[in-house]
Amino acid sequence: MPRIQAATVAEHHARQRRALLDAARALLAEEERAPSMAAVGRRAGLARSSVYQYFTSADELLAAVVADVFPKWASQILNRVMAAPTPATRVWAYVAASVDLFASSEQAVARVLTQVVEPRLLQGPMEQFHAQLQVPLRQALADFGEPEPETMAQLVDSLIVQASREVAVADRTKVAPIREVTLARLRRLLGPYLGLDPQD
């Protein structure tokens, strides 16, 4: 039995489960395919048999990854939006954080999850993710004085998705310059509307 390196058994189990989720996510990003239970165990430093103490199947593990990553991705964007000082810069923070998510290794994770996880398991977390992000974006637009914040929020999201398509599928060595080009294009479109200063 592996040595428990935590104050309690419950804490030990939580750490092991966390290690397995992190290992699965890392392998999804690196290999762009569903990892085996053995590979996840190796990455987390656990025997294959130990993985099954936490997840009964690869499908259950992937479902747990889905439940874990969407709230994390939302938090990454929301934290940057909330840190911006004005309504206009909150909108731009939303745009920039969204592009950064598309440009990160997490995009590979999202792409693989849509291929290997049953749509019914993805639908709820994805809908909650998008709904959660729309709230602060609509509020920032309303605070900015936009008379149609809901419609404008949908248009902003559409612009982000269209503009980020290239960066989302780029080779990892080319992501940084493509990200800069993507943000510059969005800045040319949205900067005048938002009245952003060059340093914002």
Q: CATH number, domain at 9?
A: 1.10.10
Question: Is 13 found in the same domain as 86?
Answer: no
**Measured CA angle at 18 (ends 12, 19), to 5 deg:** 90
State residue 12's pLDDT score. 82
State residue 155's pLDDT score. 97
Question: Is 107 found in the same domain as 37?
Answer: no
Residue 5 within any structural domain of the chain: yes
Determine the longest span between alpha carbons in the chain, in angstroms.
62
Question: Is 173 found in the same domain as 85?
Answer: yes
Residue 5 has pLDDT above 50, yes or no: yes
Provide the pLDDT confidence category of residue 169 given band limits of 50, 70 and 90: confident
Question: Is 176 found in the same domain as 89?
Answer: yes
Going by C-alpha positions, the residue among 191, 196, 186 that lies closest to residue 97 is 186
d(CA 130, CA 160): 13
Question: Is 157 found in the same domain as 79?
Answer: yes
Residue 33 within any structural domain of the chain: yes
Which range marks the domain in which residue 115 is found? 65-194
For the chain, report the end-to-end CA distance as a whole number of angstroms.
55
**Strands (DSSP E) found in 73-197:** none
Query: Residue 200 corresponds to which tokens in the numbers above?
Result: 């914002």
pLDDT 10s digits, 126-151: 999 999 999 999 999 999 999 999 99
Residue 100 has pLDDT above 70, yes or no: yes
Provide the pLDDT confidence category of residue 1 given band limits of 50, 70 and 90: very low
Query: Residue 124 corresponds to which tokens in the numbers above?
Result: 């709820």
Residue 52 within any structural domain of the chain: yes
Question: Is 129 found in the same domain as 46?
Answer: no
Question: Is 25 found in the same domain as 117?
Answer: no
Give the chain's domain count.
2
CATH number, domain with residue 175: 1.10.357
SS3 29: helix
pTM score, whole prediction: 0.85
Residue 200 within any structural domain of the chain: no
Going by C-alpha positions, the residue among 111, 114, 160, 109 that lies closest to residue 133 is 160
Average pLDDT of the chain, as a whole number? 91
Question: Is 184 found in the same domain as 87?
Answer: yes
**Strands (DSSP E) found in the chain:** none
Helices (H) and strands (E) in the chain, counts: 10, 0
Question: Is 112 found in the same domain as 88?
Answer: yes
Provide the pLDDT confidence category of residue 16 given band limits of 50, 70 and 90: very high
Average pLDDT over residues 119-129: 90
